[in-house]
């Protein structure tokens, strides 16, 4: 894939985010920033900080963050 594809995909996802509810909007904007991070580093500057946060948003349904232990046994 080339930079134009990733930039266009990020733009499309941001347009969807503008119409989404707040929870989905946050996740779509994070996805768009991931596409931005896939472009050539010379064209954009430093990587977004949200790429180093880990998969905590993937665990939203359980209410547990990354690395948290379950309290039920």
Extents of the domains making up the chain: 1-40
pLDDT tens for the chain, residues 1 to 73: 689 999 999 999 999 999 999 999 999 999 999 999 998 776 555 555 554 444 455 444 445 455 555 555 4
Helices (H), 1-73: 3-18, 22-37
Is this model's pTM higher than 0.85 or not? no
Task: Find the distance separating the first CA and the last CA of the chain, reported in whole Å.
Answer: 46
């Amino acid at each position: 894939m080339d930079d134009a594809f990733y930039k266009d995909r990020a733009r499309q996802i941001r347009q969807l985010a503008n119409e989404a509810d707040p929870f989905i909007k946050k996740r779509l904007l994070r996805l768009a920033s991931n596409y931005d991070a896939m472009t050539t580093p010379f064209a954009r500057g430093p990587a977004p900080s949200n790429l180093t946060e880990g998969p905590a948003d993937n665990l939203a349904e359980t209410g547990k963050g990354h690395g948290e232990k379950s309290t039920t046994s």
